[in-house]
Amino acid sequence: MNPIPFKFGGYQKPASIHNRAAAHFGAALTARLGDRVRFELVGSVLDLGRQSGDLPLMVESGELALCYISTVRFTTAVPELKVLELPFVVKDRSSVQRAFAGEFGTLVMRRMQETTPFRLLGLWDNGFRHLTNKLRPIRTPADCRGLRIRTQLSELHGEALRALGFVPIPADVKEFVEDIAGDRFDAQENPLTNTYNFGVHHYHRYITLSGHFFGATAMICNDALYRSWAPEVQDAVEDAARKATAHQWQLAAAEDAAIMAKFDPRENDVVHLSDAERAQFIAAVRPVQEKYRGELDPRLFDWLDVQD
């Protein structure tokens, strides 16, 4: 009998915590099922000339069995995920990981299965997002004024960053990485792991530890394909996904300190906001936060233990 192919797609460098977690999934699945499966990690579809946004389409078509991708891609189908796009709502990793493992995660998994062709196998920790730019240190919203910032394909992110004074330019990460040395973008925002692994720090001297958004990553598979597998294969996939998710959370918890140690102070200036400076950012985006907080189920904020 031919082995079941498990081609897992991503969009990052081999050393990224996401690709290491995906490899962990493959190892756990192979340990459980042996030669019944054939695992292949396509670590970066960017290297194939594809955009990161192509990943869900590749899973839907069957070109890939699984992928990881930012949850911002699913907020139309699963509006509850918008809570993770609000600025300054997640206070710490432990709170959000408890929510991912609890009722919030259960709800999102059910909604994903109801409204998309995907099965959500895990919610990964994509870290607190910070500001970088090539022009000046950012310590207050006034420093953001007029800077062209690359954003994820999230209208809500753009709205919040516009409130800080930025000029948001939504772009797939492939476009950003290709254009980073040019004049299209002055600034960007990403978790430190992406800032480093995509080489942003070579072009953006100034890094502000703003923690303005918290990112989540969806580990998804083709639901029809999942349902075609024998029950013992489904069980093995679910078990491997749980192990990969736990491993990814462990990696994420240690990653910020590891990346900070890699920045060269001769090349990068890291800005640590004071409480008073951070309060200015929070005040600037409060109208955006209040607008969407009124639209979303209050339970979401309770489950995330959202800061006031």
Confidence (pTM): 0.91
Beta pairing, strands 187-190 & 206-222: unpaired
Q: What is the pLDDT of residues 175-224, one digit of tens each?
A: 988 999 899 999 999 999 999 999 999 999 999 999 999 999 999 999 99
Tally the domains of the chain. 1
Q: Which residues have a Cβ under 8 Å from the Cβ of 303 and sit 6 or more positions away?
A: 99, 102, 103, 104
pLDDT of residue 237: 98
Q: Is the pLDDT score of 294 beyond 90? A: no
| Domain coverage including residue 69 | 4-304
Q: CB atoms < 10 A from the CB of 184, how many?
A: 14
The residue among 254, 211, 218 whose CA lies nearest residue 89 is 211
Question: Mean pLDDT of all residues in the chain?
Answer: 95
- CATH number at 118 reads 3.40.190.170
Please, are residues 22 and 240 in contact by the beta-carbon 8 Å criterion? no
Alpha helices in 102-150 (DSSP H): 103-115
Q: What is the pLDDT of residues 234-263, one digit of tens each?
A: 999 999 999 999 999 999 989 999 999 999
Tokens 């969407």 belong to residue:
292
pLDDT of residue 1: 74
Q: Is the pLDDT score of 293 beyond 90? A: no
The larger pLDDT score, comparing residue 283 to residue 181, is at 283
Percent of the chain at pLDDT above 70? Answer: 99
The larger pLDDT score, comparing residue 231 to residue 292, is at 231
pLDDT of residue 307: 60
Please, are residues 43 and 14 in contact by the beta-carbon 8 Å criterion? yes
Please, are residues 48 and 266 in contact by the beta-carbon 8 Å criterion? no
Q: Is the pLDDT score of 308 beyond 80? A: no
pLDDT of residue 85: 92
Rounded Cα gap, residues 89 and 105, in angstroms: 17
Mean per-residue pLDDT, 165-182: 92
pLDDT of residue 111: 96
Q: What is the pLDDT of residues 83-120, one digit of tens each?
A: 999 999 998 999 999 999 999 999 999 999 999 999 99
